Amino acid sequence: MKAPKGCGPAIHKAQRPQLGALYAAAAALVGTAAKGGVLPDDRADLLYHSYSGGGVTINGTSLLVRKKVGDHVSLVGNWYTDSVSGASIDVVTQASPYKEKRSQGSLGVDLLLGKATYSAGYINGSEPDFRSRTAYASVSEDLFGDLTTITFGASRGWDKVGERGAPDFKATADRRNWSVGLSQVLTRNLLASLAVETSESEGYLQNPYRQARYLSGDPRGYSYEKEAYPHTRTGNAFAARAKYYLRWRAALDGNYRYYRDTWGIVAHTAELGYTLPAFHRWVFDAHARYYRQKQASFYADLFPYQGSQNFLARDRELAAFKELGLGFGASWELRPRHRGLLQKATFNLRYDNLRFKYDDFRDLRVQGAAAGTEPLYTLKANVLQLYVSAWF
Amino acid sequence: VKPYEREHLADPIMSFERDPVSGAYLDHVHESREGARGATGNVGGGCGCN
């Protein structure tokens, strides 16, 4: 499909906002395994992942290796790749399909001294027109007879944003995060945790390819203009989580998160999960997740005229919507008869079905409707993970 | 809760992060499509670098 008139480059990268999240997830991956006065197990995980929904397919792999060096140091490395193909609704309505590969590598170290674990690491992510570097550090300590673990963390990130078809365009963004976490043993069957995180971003925070639409004399009834985001964003998130051991050897867990930021987004996330070991070597999981958010203050599906506001956005990620996710997982454990290098391994499958229902993001693929009366967009996605974990 | 009373808590099914690679990937799937981020329950961690 050709890019519409005035749309800029033919290749429209609708997935740009994923990058920050990608590196956040990576930081979580390499930065959270250490818990107070115990170093994490030596293990390796190889994951194949596939996301399919809204006309887009994203699949790839992730390899994590963690290994102790002596009694006080643990090293961890991760290599993540994915490949994006297809045409999301943004691409169909504004530009051309595209294919792209992305990769990210990270290295981290955990140092155990007494009851405290000090962690630090570095993450480097890149794709053809985007680069991100992130450094992080944290300290985690067990207190009160190892019933309480408290963690302080901080990170700093630097992004470089480019645009295909515009070699002179170069922009940067800085990210800073601070977090505090507290986990607590409440009873012999109940664990709970609290987490607070503040994030600050400054610089070019938008997607250079995305556009806002406004009412015009065009035969369609609307035209497009460049989006304009604020250059700063501060967000605060608070999460509470609990996990309960059931007497027939199963676990029930619940999680709630509240988020608010200076762009006007307010979000609630609630999750419920159930884990059941069965048949000696199997573990089954079932989980449900509900998410809803209020739109950013400068978001609109259709602006009244060109340049009607200082800040303009029509990104789905900033719209008001509700999301329901349902999933299940199964894991089979291999126990070698003679334990040499390999202590045990698990073969795992996890499937999630996600459904998004937008309150003010309209489906512009529908022809013949007056601007602003198109049906609201909905999205269904399937997420599949196949992975092998080995302890050594 | 005494150390000898923590048998259930030590069971792998009680871990908040039983599968770190899978958990990080799902965080990525969600955060790339949502406006909210951070405090994903990964207590003990250092950052959520957005």
A263 sits in the region (left: phi over 0; alpha: psi -120 to 50; else beta) called alpha
Q: Which of A262, A264, A266, A241 lies closest to A251 in space, CA to CA?
A: A241
CB pairs under 8 A between A and B: 260
Phi, psi (5° rounding) for residue A24? Answer: -65, -45
Q: How many Å apart are CA A167 and CA B21, to the nearest integer?
A: 36
Compare CB distances from B49 to A177, A182, A261 and report the shortest one's residue: A177
Q: Which of B31, B34, B20, B47 lies closest to A153 in space, CA to CA?
A: B47
Does B39 touch chain A if contact means CB atoms closer than 8 Å?
yes
Does A344 touch chain B if contact means CB atoms closer than 8 Å?
no
Q: How many Å apart are CA B39 and CA A236, to the nearest integer?
A: 9
Could A316 and B38 be called an inter-chain contact, meaning their C-beta atoms sit closer than 8 Å? no
The label of the residue with tokens 């996605």 reads: A381
Does A100 touch chain B if contact means CB atoms closer than 8 Å?
no
Q: Which of B45, B5, B21 lies closest to A245 in space, CA to CA?
A: B5
Does B10 touch chain A if contact means CB atoms closer than 8 Å?
no
Residue type, A158: W
Compare CB distances from B6 to A140, A188, A293 and report the shortest one's residue: A188
For residue B1, pLDDT over 60 is answered with yes
Does A123 touch chain B if contact means CB atoms closer than 8 Å?
yes
Looking at CA atoms only, how far is residue B47 from chain A in angstroms? 6
Residues of B with Cβ-Cβ distance to A82 under 8 angstroms: none
Compare CB distances from A201 to B18, B29, B50 and report the shortest one's residue: B50
Task: Output the pLDDT for position A77.
Answer: 96
- Token reading at A345: 């391994």
Q: Mean pLDDT for each 10-residue chunk of chain A (392 residues)? A: 29 39 44 63 96 93 96 95 83 70 92 94 89 93 91 93 89 94 95 95 91 94 95 97 96 97 98 96 97 97 96 95 98 89 95 97 91 96 98 93
Looking at CA atoms only, how far is residue B46 from chain A in angstroms? 4
For residue B13, pLDDT over 50 is answered with yes
Q: How many Å apart are CA A210 and CA A206, to the nearest integer?
A: 8
- Per the CB < 8 A criterion, the answer to whether A245 and B9 are in contact is yes
Task: Output the pLDDT for position A99.
Answer: 74
- Token reading at B33: 């499509």
Residues of B with Cβ-Cβ distance to A119 under 8 angstroms: 46
Q: Which of A123, A261, A140, A133 lies closest to A193 in space, CA to CA?
A: A140
For residue B40, pLDDT over 70 is answered with yes
What are A137-172's pLDDT values in tens digits? 999 999 988 899 999 999 999 999 988 888 899 999
What are A184-223's pLDDT values in tens digits? 999 999 999 999 999 999 999 998 888 999 999 999 999 9
Phi, psi (5° rounding) for residue A279? Answer: 55, 40
Compare CB distances from A25 to B1, B11, B24 and report the shortest one's residue: B24
Closest residue of chain B to A124, computed from CA coordinates: B49
